[in-house]
Structure formats: C-alpha cells, structure tokens
Structure 1
Amino acid sequence: MKEFLKNHRFSIIVALTSIAFYFSFAYNLDRSDFIKLISLYGGLFFMNFRLIQLEKINFWSLASLALLYRLIFLFALPNLSQDFYRFLWDGKLILEGINPYLHKPSELIGNFQGIWTELYKGMGSLSQSNFTSYPPVNQLIFAISALLGGKTILGSVMVMRVLIILADFGILFFGKKLLQRLHLPKHQIFWYILNPFIIIELTGNLHFEGVMLFFLIFSLYLLHKGKWLASAVLLGVSVSVKLIPLIFLPLLWNYFKNNKRTENPDISRLSFKKLLSYYFIVGLTILISFLPFISSEFIANFSSSIALWFQKFEFNASIYYVVRWIGFELKGYNIIATAGKVLAVLTFFIILRLAFLKKNQTMPGLITSMLFGIAAYFFLSTTVHPWYLVTPLLLSVFTKYGFMILWTGLVFLSYYAYSNPEFKENYWLLGIEYFFVFGLLIFEIFRNMYQTKKPVI
C-alpha cells in the first residue's frame, strides 16, 4: 500500500482535488459567477489532462474515477442550463396523452398548475414561446424520466442523469472495443470519458448528445465488423435522439462503394446496393420513431423550430460573426436570415466534397471525414452552445487530431455571457477561444499533409 501511495501520490491528490472541485461546481456555483466558473473548470481540465497522461495504463482506475465524478452530480439540479425544465414539460405532456410537437408551452400553461408552473417558469421565455425541437427517442427518455421521477423535479432529474451516465459508459465500452479494432491506444477514450467538459455538460447539465453518441459509436463498431444491417438501425435511432448524425449519411458513400475488405477480410464486401439498403433502413427506423407523432401540423411546427437555429439565434459563433460584421458594414443591419442560409449551403457542399472526393473506404478515414464535416458545420454555424462539441470531441478520439480537446478546454469562455443581465457576449474571449482552436487545427492539417503527402479535406 505504501508503495502504491508513493507511486501514485500526485494522481491521488489530483483525484481528491477534482472531487472537491466537482462538488463545488455541482452544488455551490451560480452561472453568473464567471470567475469561479472558469477557475473551477480550468483547474479540472488541467488536472484531469495530466491524470490521463500519468495513469493511461490503469484503464479501470480511470474508469472508476469517471463514474465517481459523475455520481457527485446525482442530487444536483443543473446550474448552467435550464433546458431540463422543457425536457420534463415535454415528457409530462406525453404522459398526459398530449402530442408535445403540436403546442407551445405558452398555449397550454393555463390548463395546468402545481409542478407545471414551476417547469414553465424554469424553462424561460424562449422555450415557452417555441415548439419543441427534440426528436421522438429523446421524447421517450423525457417521458420515462417524468414517469419514474415521481412528483418531484429532482426525482426526474436523477432518472435522466442515470440514463446519461449509462450511455457514457456504453460509449466507454464500445469506444474501447473500436479503438482496439483500429489498433489505436485504448486509453484515448478517456479524452472523452474523463474530460470535465463531458462530465459537466452531459451528466451535470443533462444534455442528451451522449445518448445519441452511444448509438452512433455502437453503429460504427458494428459497421466495422460488417454487421451493416444492425448498424443502420442504430444509426437511425441515433438520429431519433438528436438530428445531427444526418450530416454523416453522405460520408458513407465511399466506405460502401470502395471498401475492398481491407480492414476485415472475413466480412462480405460492401457495395453501392448495400449502401442504398443501409440508407433505406436508417430512414425507415427514423420514420417508425416519428409515426406516433406525425401529422401535417407536426411537420410544420418541427420544421419551423429547427429553422430558428439558422435564422434567429446567435451564440459563440466564429466565422458567422465575421460575416455578420461585414454585413453591418455593407448593409447596416443584421444579415443572419440570409447569412444563416448561405453558411448552411456552404456546409452542405463541404460535406459533399468529403463524401465524394475523399477516400473514406477505411473506418479511420471515414471517422476523420466525419470529424471535419461536423467541425465545418460548427465553424460555420450561427449558434454553437458548448455541449454541441460533444460529437466532434468523441470522433476526434479515433483520429490523429487533437484540436477538439483544446476547443473543449476553451469553450467555457463563452459562458461569460451568463455573467451579465443583458446576456452579452465578450468578443475578446471568443477571439481567444477561436484563435487557439483555428491555430492548432491549421497546424495539425499541415502536419498531417506533410506526413501523408495528401490533402486532409
């Protein structure tokens, strides 16, 4: 025991300090206190970055710490996001037999009282006045949480938190197996699982990107094994948790079309015909999940809710803010309605280029294209909430690129907006964030181009 304590003294100190920091973050932090927020987060990020470097051979010790850190948040209400109030509102509507896609909360609040009033006030005016944008599998999770959580908000929050933790450890399980199949170090999965960004934004703030990614990584693992039918079903379920995996569908073109059993000679060769079947199964899975809610009114409401993100909302953007500034200089007003559409089209063309001009016939190549596709999407977006970065972070674990780890370390600078009543962003802080992210990204692109003698994107 003495020898163990001596050899792991620094790691034990880091772990104990992290526990104290996470406890303070969960139970003694107001999001308006930016100095405390960024100090706690910066400390956690640095300490656990070093912890992974020092203890990477002790896989299950790191996994146990990852679970312990998450359990600290079990009895806390999220303090950086109020979205969970809307989650429970939608879930309780389903339990009441009401389609959550057909009504804005502001249209229904007069019919309810008690806990409904608390949920309505908690979600804020933006959520109160808009239709829900959460896909049906996510809605199912909301309903289960509302059902099992009893009559208290905290009870339902605890149920959601347990489900998110289970999803994270599903990612740990299949992520480790996929890394081993790709002959990559299995400890790389801890850049996701032990990242304070993931623990705080998913377990702490109850964002369901982790559940979506569990189905996505499970799908990629099965695809690599040649079990493309089951992979397609899981990818469809992933889309029905969060729509973002739809971006990846075109990238499968060359994986199916040009895959020549180079990764696994024991599986049958993929083909264009199988790709069409894959797309059909993904689409059918999504359609089945939407069937209980589908109607012309649902389609109109859901589409308008999604469109808002491209045409109305602005937060933590990078390239868009430059475009917006140019628009003010040339037009004299905010051009988000036009710029949002143009940037979305540009993202679409970048995805098509990655799909048809990149050789994605191996799983590492496919995942790298997925990483750059989703990164381009966020670089060109008008709104980049911190938890959006969960997807590219996980994908980066299976690649040679580390810029997403840096981005998750800096993205909390955007929370400065919560420190003032006007919800005003600090563009100097955002400049620091994106200066270093783009700097590392450009360096890594040119480094890998030099090593491989091939263009990255």
Structure 2
Amino acid sequence: MSLLTNLFKYHKTPLLFVLLSSIFYLSFAYDLVRTDIIKLLLLYTALFVFAFKIIKTSGFYFRLLVISAILFRLLFLFAIPNLSQDFYRFIWDGRMILEGLNPYLYSPDSFIENGKLPIAQAQELYNGMGALSSSHFTNYPPINQLCFAIAALFSGKSILGSIVILRTLIIAADIGTLYFGKKLLERLKLPSNRVFWYILNPFIIIELTGNLHFEGVMLFFLVWSLYLLHSGKWKWAAVVLACSISVKLIPLMFLPLFFWWFKKGNVIANEMKQSVSMKEIATSQVPHNDIFKLILFYAIVGITTLLLFLPFFSMEFINNYSQTVGLWFGKFEFNASIYYLIREIGFAITGYNEIAIIGKVLPILSLLIILGFSFFKQNNTIPKLTTSIVVVFACYLFLSTTVHPWYIATLVLLCVFTNYRFPLVWSVALVLSYLAYSNSSNSENLWIIELEYMIVFAAFIWEIVLKKRIRI
C-alpha cells in the first residue's frame, strides 16, 4: 500500500505517461491491422515519446520502470500477433513434436498437399502461416522447438492458449534479461538504468512480446553468458552461450570474437577488481592466457549445441536444415540496404536479379569483417567484446539480403554495454520497413527503405567513423 501511495504522491507525471502508453499498447495489440500504416506509424512514434518521458520524468525510479515494463508486456497477453504470422509455424512445430514427428523432416506442404492432417487444427495453422513458411522445412533450433512443444503441451487444441504460453515464456526471458543485464552493468561500473533502453523500448515490447519473436529468449541466454564470463565462470558461460545458439543461430557468428578473451596480462582480472571484492576474485575462475582454455571454451559450446540438436539428428535433418538456412542468403530479400544497391547495379549491367551471386559474396564480406574484429581487436573485456559484436552484427545486417525488424533486438540490447547509440536510432527508424504491408502484394517502396537507411547510416557514421556521441 505504501508503495502505491508513494507512486501516486511523487510520480504523477510518469504515471500519466504509463497510462497513456497502456492505452496505446492496447490499441496496438487489439485494434491494429498492419495495412493501416498511418495508425501504425502514429502509435509507434507516440510510444517512443512516452517511453522517453517515463524514463526521464521518473528519475530512473527502478520499481516504477520495472512495473511499467512488465505491465506493458502483460497487456499483449491475449492478443493475436498482428505484424507477423510466424507464430502459426511455431504452433505447428510444437504440435508435430507432441505427435512424435520430427519437424525438421517434413514441410507443412508435404502433409496438406497429400490430404493429411497430422496435428489438431492443421488446416487453420497451414492457412495462417502463409505459402513461404509452409513450403520450407523449419529452421528453428532445438531450444526454440522446446518452447513450441511446451506451448503445445499446456494449451491443448487452443491456438490462443499456445500464444499465451509462448508469450509468457518470452516475458519471463525479458525479466531474466533485466536481472542479468542490470547486474552486469553494475559490475562494469556503468549506469544500471541503461538496461531500460532495452526493457522499455517499444520496439522490443512490440516485436518480441507482441509478435512472438524468440530473439528475447536468445538474448536472455546471451546476456547471462556474458555475466558468467565476466564473473570468471567461463565453462558455464560456454554452456549458456550454446543455449543461446540453440534458440537462434545468430550467436554462432560471435564465437570468433572470443579469441582474445583469455589474453595474457589479465585485463579481465583488472576489470573484475574494479567491480567485485577481493574475496570474489580469489574464489572465481579468472581467465589467463591459455590456448587450452580457449579450445575448451569452444569445445563446450560446440558439444553442448550438438547435444541439444541430437534428439532431431539424422542425415536427412542435416540436408533439410542446411537447405533452409541457405535460403536466407540466396532466395529471400526484405528491408536490405547495401544488397539492394548492388542488386540495382546488377540489373543495370545484366538485366537480371543477381541474388544467387550477390547472396554468396556478401556473406564472405561479413565473414572477413568478423575475422578482422576477432584477430585484430583484443576483445578481452565485456565492453570491448560487446562493442565488437555490435559493430560486426550491424555490418552483417547492412550486407544481408533480408533484415526483418526483430533482427535488430540484438543490437538494441548489447549497445547498452557500449558507447554506441545508433541501434536505438535504428529501433525507431525500422518501423518504416512495415510500409511494405500498405499494399496487397507486400511490395517494398525503395524510397522508403532508402529513407530508413539514410537515418541509420547517418547515426552509424556519426558514431563509428566520426567517433562522436549520440546522447540519449
């Protein structure tokens, strides 16, 4: 009671913005069609303004911000995702597992086109997921599949029930990210309130909680792994990092960046001395320059990941999974930047879409950037490591043929441990990518995409090239 009294007495202004945000989130969740672009833009922009006002006027009052973050997520609990239809495939995969069927071995088309309905509400789920998803094998790793199976187990034959359980898992993961993110910021002697740039970010709430994208679960394991790594518990950090990879494959590309973590000179020990007691240092496993530890770290990550995939393993699985992952580089295109520019040049020269060639060259460029940051930058502290991850992953997205909005979540979280703020700018600007849904063919307006990336590249160059600060 005293907490509520103090909130109403001393925090009337932020509570007003919390109320306004709640109304707007409810409208977003239950009364928005993604083709209504004007309403989407207005709601999205207003929610960012309100989030900024809540944080600013609350004086970073931790309890109020935590309550607000959880409240905003719970408002979506019973909403059907309205900006993505991926959840239909999540439910399909989960129910396939409960039926004893390996979701990696069958595409939905292989059943429906032969008149077979392998799971409850198969036709409804099939119609909902769309032709693109139904024609391909699943690409979701095993812990992601576990979440789908949990939803299927406890929801019976209810699609809404599955949505509620999937959303609860994502909300729980965000609370875990809040916990470990705050603790890690405190250990690094950075302002712990930075974590709210992620937790209260409307983009994160809408895309992850609202649209049921499991980047939130992946990032929970990733930030937990970084916390363990900073604490010296690098073996457990490797296990948890494998769990992150087993939700989404994205952290695989970060593995080379750990090359200098076990560097001699004990920069890590110095970092720990600034943030923990001498007793904690004495009892922790502080990494030293030991190639064996580096190899063991990678081995633990690799073996744990393989063990998690083991229940689904077969030669057919390897073939199907590699084919599906490869499609993202050679077939699909959405909200790209540099790729679209090169594609237009290819059109002008050959008269054809050269995605098959460009889609093979751009990943090589991304790999070279990753290796450059891995071997020529000594990523032996958490701020240095996260800074390299942010830059490397941003470059990877700039070179990608497909950049769905939720891919940016990794940048938004990890930038709180760095001096970079361009991911926060991107989290606002990427709403422009949804203008593709303003027409029935879902075709993109390249002028709109150009506007989005002009904003993003301007912020990126300002910070990375000109080395100037964007102050939030």
Task: Give the deviation of 1:268 after TM superposition.
Answer: 2.9
Match of residue 335 from structure 2: 316
Q: Give me the whole-angstrom Cα distance separating, in 2, the residues matched to 1:280 and 1:345.
A: 24
Query: How many correspondences in the alignment?
Result: 450
Bigger Cα displacement from structure 2, 341-350 vs 108-117: 108-117
Match of residue 348 from structure 2: 329
Quick one: structure 1 residues 31 and 263, their matched pair in 2 at CA, closer, same or farther if it must change by over 3 Å? same
Bigger Cα displacement from structure 2, 140-149 vs 423-432: 423-432
Secondary structure, in 3 states, of the residue corresponding to 1:432? helix
Q: Give me the whole-angstrom Cα distance separating, in 2, the residues matched to 1:208 and 1:141.
A: 9
Q: Give me the whole-angstrom Cα distance separating, in 2, the residues matched to 1:380 and 1:259.
A: 36
1:263 correspondence with 2:294: no
Quick one: structure 1 residues 3 and 95, their matched pair in 2 at CA, closer, same or farther if it must change by over 3 Å? closer
Q: Give me the whole-angstrom Cα distance separating, in 2, the residues matched to 1:157 and 1:215.
A: 22
Match of residue 190 from structure 1: 196
Secondary structure, in 3 states, of the residue corresponding to 1:184? coil
Match of residue 276 from structure 2: none
Is the 1:56–1:187 Cα contact (8 Å) retained in structure 2? no
Match of residue 274 from structure 1: 293
Task: Give the deviation of 1:424 after TM superposition.
Answer: 1.0
Structure 2 counterparts to residues 108-257 of structure 1, below 5 A: 108-109=111-112, 110-112=115-117, 115-257=121-263
Gaps of 5+ in 1: 451-457
Q: Give me the whole-angstrom Cα distance separating, in 2, the residues matched to 1:66 and 1:324.
A: 41
Is the 2:15–2:54 Cα contact (8 Å) retained in structure 1? no
Cα RMSD between the aligned structures?
A: 1.6
Match of residue 455 from structure 1: none
Is the 2:177–2:220 Cα contact (8 Å) retained in structure 1? yes
Match of residue 55 from structure 1: 58
Match of residue 365 from structure 1: 384
Task: Give the deviation of 1:430 after TM superposition.
Answer: 1.3
Is the 2:258–2:374 Cα contact (8 Å) retained in structure 1? yes
Match of residue 346 from structure 1: 365
Is the 1:254–1:359 Cα contact (8 Å) retained in structure 2? yes
Q: Give me the whole-angstrom Cα distance separating, in 2, the residues matched to 1:317 and 1:52.
A: 32
Task: Give the deviation of 1:374 after TM superposition.
Answer: 0.9
Q: Give me the whole-angstrom Cα distance separating, in 1, the residues matched to 2:265 and 2:152.
A: 45
Quick one: structure 1 residues 56 and 389, their matched pair in 2 at CA, closer, same or farther if it must change by over 3 Å? farther
Is the 1:350–1:373 Cα contact (8 Å) retained in structure 2? yes
Match of residue 13 from structure 1: 16
1:418 correspondence with 2:466: no
Is the 2:25–2:72 Cα contact (8 Å) retained in structure 1? yes
Q: Determine which of 68, 93, 103 is the counterpart of 1:100.
A: 103
Match of residue 454 from structure 1: none
Listed one character per residue, the Cα deviations across residues 138-170 of structure 1 (whole Å, up to 9, x for unaligned) are: 111101101111211000110000000000000
Listed one character per residue, the Cα deviations across residues 309-348 of structure 1 (whole Å, up to 9, x for unaligned) are: 0001111001111111111111111011111111100000
Is the 1:259–1:361 Cα contact (8 Å) retained in structure 2? no
Is the 1:257–1:272 Cα contact (8 Å) retained in structure 2? no
Task: Give the deviation of 1:111 after TM superposition.
Answer: 1.9
Is the 2:13–2:57 Cα contact (8 Å) retained in structure 1? no
Q: Give me the whole-angstrom Cα distance separating, in 2, the residues matched to 1:114 and 1:156.
A: 12
Q: Give me the whole-angstrom Cα distance separating, in 2, the residues matched to 1:10 and 1:427.
A: 40
Bigger Cα displacement from structure 2, 214-223 vs 427-436: 427-436
Quick one: structure 1 residues 8 and 326, their matched pair in 2 at CA, closer, same or farther if it must change by over 3 Å? same
Q: Give me the whole-angstrom Cα distance separating, in 2, the residues matched to 1:355 and 1:4.
A: 47
Q: Give me the whole-angstrom Cα distance separating, in 1, the residues matched to 2:76 and 2:309.
A: 32
Task: Give the deviation of 1:255 after TM superposition.
Answer: 1.5
Q: Give me the whole-angstrom Cα distance separating, in 2, the residues matched to 1:389 and 1:97.
A: 34
Q: Give me the whole-angstrom Cα distance separating, in 2, the residues matched to 1:97 and 1:168.
A: 30
Matching residue's letter, 1:9: K
Q: Give the percent of matched residue pairs that are identical in Structure 1 and Structure 2.
A: 56
Secondary structure, in 3 states, of the residue corresponding to 2:311? coil
Q: Give me the whole-angstrom Cα distance separating, in 2, the residues matched to 1:428 and 1:80.
A: 21
Gaps of 5+ in 2: 274-280
1:45 correspondence with 2:78: no
1:26 correspondence with 2:36: no
Matching residue's letter, 1:128: S
Matching residue's letter, 1:192: Y
Quick one: structure 1 residues 298 and 399, their matched pair in 2 at CA, closer, same or farther if it must change by over 3 Å? same
Matching residue's letter, 2:232: G
Q: Give me the whole-angstrom Cα distance separating, in 1, the residues matched to 2:7 and 2:77.
A: 30
Match of residue 452 from structure 2: 433
